[in-house]
Amino acid sequence: MLASRLHGLEDIRLDTVDEPTPGDGEVRVKVAHNGICGSDLHMYFRESPWRSGSPITLGHEFCGVVDGLGSGVSGVELGTRVAVRPFYKCGECSRCKTGLEHLCTPLRVLGCGAEGGGLAEYCVMDADMVYALPDAVTLEQGALVEPMAVSFNGVLRGDVEPGMRTVVFGAGPIGIGVLLGLRAQGVDDVVVVEPSAVRRETVGQLGASEVLDPTTDDVHGAVMARTNREGADAVFECAGVAASFSAAVPLVTARGKLVVVAVYEDALSWNPTGLMVNEVELRGSMGYEAGVYEQVIELMDQGHYPTSGWVEHIPWSAVVDEGFEPLRRGERMKVMVDVGA
């Protein structure tokens, strides 16, 4: 079969490899779509621990159809359209045993070092890593479940409630996911901060209350004006750059929450006094807790995650020129690779 494998820095090759066979408790999925993620960009353009043991098959945001069952598998049928949860869990470490399976160590993720990935014709995984899609949820949406689950976990980490005032830094796919997740939770006051004109236009069409350009707008003044000088109840940092983190801290109201959903390429240098004076609670959000995948699929079934205007499809052969490169430049929103669709 064909598989896009990362051999080194900026070195992706479409290789011919052996087709995988599902073992005990495993299923095989014929891949339909695979989304390109910021983590893929990190591995492609930068040094990354996830690139150890290269070449590795890329892709962890994917969906497809179950076409093989290993022995002992029950509850999964051949021909089922599924979204794939790429995180493995050991069930034995202290985190797994205390309900933090998504923080299982050592971290093993399909397409990020673990064997197999979504940029291949077929992929094998544990049977409990596939989630059946309702009839109303398309395969396109199925490949979005993973990043939208990352975003929705961030929303849940913000303890949001209807009527809250919120700010989202970054209007890439994760920031868009946070916006859509907030609206699904009944939070309508969402200010989005984004320097890219293309992304600002898109996020405005998706229902952001106000969209600000940090290079020209007074972000602090605008948010304070909206909140009667009190600040936002929850701020979500989805941009992953020092400037956005620094700008986010003073926007949070007293005892509000700042949730970091982004991955940073570079270390931050910052003074935590801003957190202290307002008793701001800084929270990280990694992956997604148990149950979040199911919640996102249910919300998709209810119509909360439209794809029009921000999801683009490219052929598998153009994964670098039409995927990695323009995404790096901020020229595209969400790129979906049509592997077997």
| Per-residue confidence (pLDDT) for residue 16, from 0 to 100 | 95
Structure-model confidence comparison of residues 39 and 170, the more confident one: 170
Token representation of residue 283: 């929270």
Beta strands 210-212; 189-193: pairing state: parallel
Q: How far apart are CA 295 and CA 329, in angstroms?
A: 32
Q: What is the pLDDT of residues 270-292, one digit of tens each?
A: 888 889 999 999 999 999 999 99
| Per-residue confidence (pLDDT) for residue 126, from 0 to 100 | 95
Sorted by where each begins, the domain ranges of the chain are 2-144+307-338, 149-284
Q: How far apart are CA 56 and CA 115, in angstroms?
A: 7
Q: Is the pLDDT of residue 330 over 90?
A: no
Q: What is the pLDDT of residues 181-226, one digit of tens each?
A: 999 999 999 999 999 998 999 999 999 999 999 999 999 999 999 9
Q: Is 28 helix (H, G, I), strand (E, B) or coil?
A: strand
| Per-residue confidence (pLDDT) for residue 114, from 0 to 100 | 83
Q: How far apart are CA 18 and CA 188, in angstroms?
A: 49
Residue 91's pLDDT band, with cuts at 50, 70 and 90, is confident
Long-range Cβ pairs for the range 174-177 (8 Å, 24+)? 174/38, 174/147, 174/150, 174/238, 174/261, 174/262, 175/151, 175/203, 175/236, 175/238, 175/239, 176/151, 176/202, 176/203, 176/206, 176/310, 176/333, 176/334, 177/147, 177/148, 177/150, 177/151, 177/152
Q: What's the topology of domain 149-284?
A: Rossmann fold (3.40.50)
| Per-residue confidence (pLDDT) for residue 50, from 0 to 100 | 66
Backbone angles phi, psi at 192, to 5 degrees: -115, 135
| Per-residue confidence (pLDDT) for residue 135, from 0 to 100 | 96
Average pLDDT over every residue of 303-325: 94
Q: How far apart are CA 61 and CA 74, in angstroms?
A: 24
**What's the mean pLDDT when you consider all of the chain?**
93
Taking the domain 2-144+307-338, which CATH number applies? Answer: 3.90.180.10
Q: What is the pLDDT of residues 22-69, one digit of tens each?
A: 999 999 999 999 999 988 888 888 877 666 677 999 999 999 999 999
Average pLDDT over every residue of 122-137: 97
| CB-based contact 133:142 (threshold 8 Å) | yes
Residue 108's pLDDT band, with cuts at 50, 70 and 90, is confident
Q: What is the pLDDT of residues 238-257, one digit of tens each?
A: 999 999 999 999 999 999 99
pTM of model > 0.75: yes
